[in-house]
Amino acid sequence: MAGILKPYDAFELVTALKDKLSIPIHMQCHATTGMSTASNLKAIEAGIDNIDTSISSMSMTYGHSATKLWLVCFRSRS
């Protein structure tokens, strides 16, 4: 539950894993340091297959980014 994965490190990690593996990649970032949303976004840009999210009342701090946040992000793209 450290929450220390930086956004551009997440991008590089996912890119490297996708180049080497042919299985789905799942990311779990805790929001302890406030970087989970940005790290997940960069992982999505790199092609991650799944991310963990939390219901709003359980999100952020030691949880994950809020599910509602991602619904708004993805709905605004369509």
> Over the stretch 37-48, which tens digit does the pLDDT of each residue have?
999 999 999 999
Contact 43, 75 (CB under 8 A): no
> Over the stretch 12-57, which tens digit does the pLDDT of each residue have?
999 999 999 999 999 998 888 888 899 999 999 999 999 988 887 7
Q: Supply 8's token pair.
A: 């551009």
Q: Supply 71's token pair.
A: 């619904």
* Domain segments of the chain as ranges: 7-19+26-75
pTM of the model: 0.84
CA separation, residue 65 to residues 19, 22, 23, 30, 41 (Å): 26, 27, 24, 7, 11
- The pLDDT value given to residue 1: 57
How many other CB atoms are there within 10 angstroms of residue 12's CB atom? 13
